[in-house]
Structure 1
Amino acid sequence: MSLENYEVNSGAGHGGQIYKSTFLSKDKAFGVLIKGIHTDIAIKSYRNRALLIVSQFEKFGSIITVTREESAKSDVYTVKTILGKDDDQTHVAARYIAEQISIEKPLLLSICLKDYGIDTLKLIVAAIKKA
């Protein structure tokens, strides 16, 4: 995959449902070192959802959907595995990333990490927010 410092220009405006403009509305791909491991991150915004790819293996990982529903007390996140590893570690990582980047529309996430620890996830979130 090796997407180091590559940025994709977003296309013309999207019709249909309107979402707040966040950093996930920017289409880009880049590579960062996370705890000494090269990590590819790609962000693509579509009209109805955002696509986020995070890989430390230069390939796609588990494909997961994360949706957020707002309620009076707190937000509720629903995590479902579409393809790949369907375990608690992957679900927790997906939910954590989605919550920390404040998703406004459904997120389609491909994640493939060597380490799913909280320190790694925090560094990945920081890299996404900085992008």
Structure 2
Amino acid sequence: MEIASDSHGNNGFPVRNKRVSLDIKGNRTDILMCTYDDYILVMVTQIGCMGTIVHARKEADVTVDPTFNVSVVFGKRDEPLLIACARQLIEHISSCGSSKPLVLSLGLKDHSPGVLKDVIAAVIEHRAW
């Protein structure tokens, strides 16, 4: 259930961005997506702060069967599902024709597969790239 949605183009904040608030598994989830010239920033929080920050990018020289580099920049390094979430999002971004890397911040109360699946679906549905 979507609570609120707000999108900005060139008016106001100069970076293309989109904000969405929705309920995921009983928790209010705020999503902010910004598309900069050189990367995409996605922040997802249920705790009111940034949480674990993951960087994901497509390897530049690979044209057939692309590979992706995903690493934790800050936060929980022992959460493989957070890495998988970032990998799925960068694969989707790449399949949409963008070569921009992704910086993903996940401040979630629950890191279960169901929650992360819903987060991925919400980001893709409301994407700002």
Shorter chain as denominator, the TM-score bin is: 0.7 to 0.9
Size of the aligned set, in residue pairs, is 116
Q: Which residue of 2 aligns with 1:114?
A: 109
Asked whether 1:127 is paired with 2:122, we answer: yes
Letter in 2 for 1:33: D
**Per-residue deviation at 1:61?**
0.9
Letter in 2 for 1:80: S
Following TM superposition, where does structure 1 have runs of at least 4 consecutive aligned residues deviating by more than 6 angstroms?
A: none
Q: Which residue of 2 aligns with 1:76?
A: 67
Query: Root-mean-square deviation (CA), in Å?
Result: 2.4
User: Using the alignment, how far apart are the partners of 1:10 and 1:57 within structure 2?
Assistant: 27
**Per-residue deviation at 1:73?**
4.2
User: Using the alignment, how far apart are the partners of 1:77 and 1:106 within structure 2?
Assistant: 10
**Which has the higher mean CA deviation after the structures are superposed, 118-127 or 98-107?**
98-107
**Per-residue deviation at 1:122?**
1.9
Q: For structure 2, which runs of at least 5 residues remain unmatched after alignment?
A: none
User: Using the alignment, how far apart are the partners of 1:90 and 1:54 within structure 2?
Assistant: 12
Identity %: 30
Q: Which residue of 2 aligns with 1:56?
A: 46
Deviations 1:48-85 (A, max 9, x none): 00000011111111121100126354221111222222
Answer yes or no: is the 8 Å Cα contact 1:93–1:116 preserved in 2. no
**Which has the higher mean CA deviation after the structures are superposed, 43-52 or 63-72?**
63-72
TM-score by length of 1: 0.73
Q: Which residue of 2 aligns with 1:89?
A: 81
Deviations 1:3-57 (A, max 9, x none): x625242338xxxxxxxxxxxx951111111111111111000000000001111
**Which has the higher mean CA deviation after the structures are superposed, 101-110 or 36-45?**
101-110
Structure with higher strand content = 2
